Homo-oligomer: A and B are copies of this chain.
Amino acid sequence: MNAATARTAVTVTTPHSRYDILIGAGLLADATAWQGLPAATQAVIVSNPTVDALYGPALQAMLSAHHARVSRLQLPEGEAHKDWATLNLIFDHLLAQGCDRKTVLYALGGGVVGDMTGFAAASYMRGVPFVQVPTTLLAQVDSSVGGKTGINHPRGKNMIGAFYQPQRVVCDLATLASLPARELSAGLAEVIKYGPIADMAFLDWIEAHLDALLARDAAALAHAVRRSCEIKAEVVGEDEREGGRRAILNFGHTFGHAIEAGMGYGQWLHGEAVGCGMVLAAELSAALGMVDTAFVQRLARLVERAGLPVRAPAMAGARWLDLMRADKKAQGGEIRFVLIESPGHAVMRPAPDATVLRAIARHSATLPEGT
């Protein structure tokens, strides 16, 4: 057990930066995990009330060895607050504390905290260093790695942001113990994602270890996080800004974003929408002759076992298409889907509207008559 949960590191190398993802149980309390970060008089830990109450004081104490002043800031919780008003709370705090352009920000929390803290770090005085300290499975395997930061706009998710790489990502697996079951499942959606797009052996492993993952077995979580980060680091290293291959990481996300936007941010968790979105994207891949129905069923079964929805909410077809055309991956009004060309390999492709709507219909709740 010790060997499996011992600390490991995955290195992310992009054209302009290089940083480590540290993975292990108990890293928040491990002084060596925090050495070598940029020196600065001040540090600010940005979190939300729940996570800050659990881990804020411990991190603050740890960082006091490196910074003369370490303050903590709680942002209101949830995707619904991933907006300018909340982002501005960070700027207000930094300016009120007299933070200079060397100040280091620490994002302690899930994807919302990480995305907003990262964008604040990218923008405050045109850029200060920041460190990701993800405390959700989703953030550990996906959002804290790769430098995507941003906030939502009423018309679209993550529409405003920056590519801005952290100095380090510190994944303390022990923090996953406090994660609500629904969020653990949401994180598993992004873990599962790496199988169909890049590594079917990993998909086999997930199928075999899903019960252990749901039971939060430390060794299983360590492997899932490490392998996910390895795949993400490899893809992001090739394509930091999503000109090409990086887009495959959005498997399930075009449908998923439409669900999130259509239902109102915060109704479905991001990972829930992605879980269901992967089933729709697999179905569309099958409809285009790329994979067989067994593959779709296999993926849907795994998504369902992970505690995730496999039926999309009832929405009119025109609404689906409108929402997906507003996606950042759309170009010149054409929706580009991440599809599974063959198990383990993803491609970007447009698809006929009728085919898309049929795929959605096969995995959707029915609209009430007359709508």
Contact = CB atoms under 8 A, between A and B. Distances in A.
Interface of A: 15-16, 41, 84, 88, 91-92, 95-96, 98, 100-102, 122-127, 148-150, 153, 155-156, 158-163, 241, 325-326, 328, 330-333
B153 A91 contact: yes
A337 to B, nearest CB: 15
A332 B153 contact: no
A305 B161 CA distance: 44
B332 A41 contact: yes
Contacts of A332: 41, 100, 102
- The 3 closest A-B CB pairs, nearest first, are A95-B155, A41-B332, A125-B328
30 contacts: A15-B16, A91-B153, A91-B159, A91-B160, A92-B155, A95-B153, A95-B155, A95-B326, A98-B333, A100-B328, A100-B330, A122-B162, A123-B150, A123-B161, A123-B162, A124-B159, A124-B160, A125-B159, A125-B161, A126-B148, A126-B149, A126-B161, A126-B162, A126-B163, A126-B241, A126-B328, A127-B162, A127-B163, A127-B241, A162-B162
Contacts of A125: 159, 161, 328
Given A96-B155, A100-B332, A126-B328, 5 more contacts: A15-B16, A95-B326, A102-B332, A126-B149, A126-B161
A15 B16 CA distance: 9
A247 to B, nearest CB: 11
A150 B162 contact: no
A100 B326 CA distance: 8
Contacts of A156: 95
Contacts of A96: 155
Contacts of A325: 98
Nearest to A151: B123
Contact of A102 (B15, B102, B160, B331): B331
Given A126-B148, A241-B127, A100 B331 contact: yes
A325 to B, nearest CB: 7
Contacts of A158: 126
A325 B99 CA distance: 10
Central interface residue in A95, A126, A330, A332, by most chain B CB within 10 Å:
A126
Most buried by B among A95, A160, A163, A328: A160
A325 B97 CA distance: 12
A332 B123 CA distance: 19
A329 to B, nearest CB: 8
A153 B92 CA distance: 9
Contacts of A101: 328, 331
Contacts of A148: 126
